[in-house]
Amino acid sequence: MSLTRWRSPPTSPVLESPDFRYGALKSVKTSIRLAKIKPGCGHKGITIELIESFVTVPGQRPQIEYDALSYTWGASKRTKSIMCNGRRLAVTPTLIEALHHFRHPDHEVILWIDQLCICQERVLERNAQVNLMGDIFAGARKVSVWLGPHSGDSKAGLQLAKQLLSITRYTNVTHLDSVQLEANGLPRRGHRKWMALAAILRRPWFWRTWIV
C-alpha cells in the first residue's frame, strides 16, 4: 500500500497580499494619478502601478502621455481584485473586464480610470478630482469607451455603426430611406445588423445619467 501526500493548491498572490492604501496627492487641484497597466494576456491577473502626474491645460503637452477610459461602473460592489503597487486592490467586475480588454500583451499601457486614479473614500480629493475631469479627458491622447464584452451579433452592430458614421461624415444625409440604404451598401431595415446595433445602443453606457 502506498500513501500519497496531497499538496494544498497554491494560494493566489493577490489574495495573500495586504490591501493597497492610497497615498496623498501633492495637490488634489493640480495632481492626478495614472494607472500603468503591466503587460499580460488571457486570464492572467491584472497588475498595475499607480504613478502621479499633473493635469495639463489645453495646448500644453502632458507630463506623461495617457489614454482615458469612459465606462459605467455597473454593480458598485468591488468583488474582484488586482495587484496595485504590490498590494491588493478591490475593483468592480465591469472594470476588471475593461482592464483585461485594454491590457497589451507586450508593453505597458497608461490609463486614467476614475475608479483607480481617485481615492473614492476621501471626499475632498474625490470632489476636487471630479472638477478636473474636463481637463483630464481633454489632456488624454485618446478616450476609449468600454461598452462591455462582445455578445451575440455585437460585432455586426459595430460594423454597421462604422458604416453609418462614414456616410454621415462625408455626406449631408440625415435620413436614410430604403433607396438610400441600398445606394450606400447598407442592409434593409429589419436586417440582423440593425437589431444588433439597437442592442448595443441599449447598453448601460448610453443610458446612464452619470458616466465617465
- DSSP states of 178-208 as a string? HHHHHHTTPPPTTSHHHHHHHHHHTSGGGT-
Of the segments 107-121, 137-151, 175-189, which one has the largest average pLDDT value? 107-121
Q: Which pLDDT does position 10 carry in this prediction? A: 47
User: Residue with C-alpha cell 500603468?
Assistant: 36
Whether 124 has a pLDDT exceeding 70, the answer reads yes
Of the segments 7-11, 141-145, 161-165, which one has the largest average pLDDT value? 141-145
> In this structure, which amino acid lies at residue 56?
T
d(CA 89, CA 38): 15
Quick check: 109 and 184 in contact, CB under 8 A? no
The pTM score is 0.78
d(CA 136, CA 69): 11
Confidence of residue 6 (pLDDT cuts 50, 70, 90): very low
Q: Is 153 exposed, middle or buried (0-12, 13-18, 19+ CB in 10 A)?
A: middle
Quick check: 144 and 67 in contact, CB under 8 A? yes
Mean pLDDT computed over 67-73 = 92
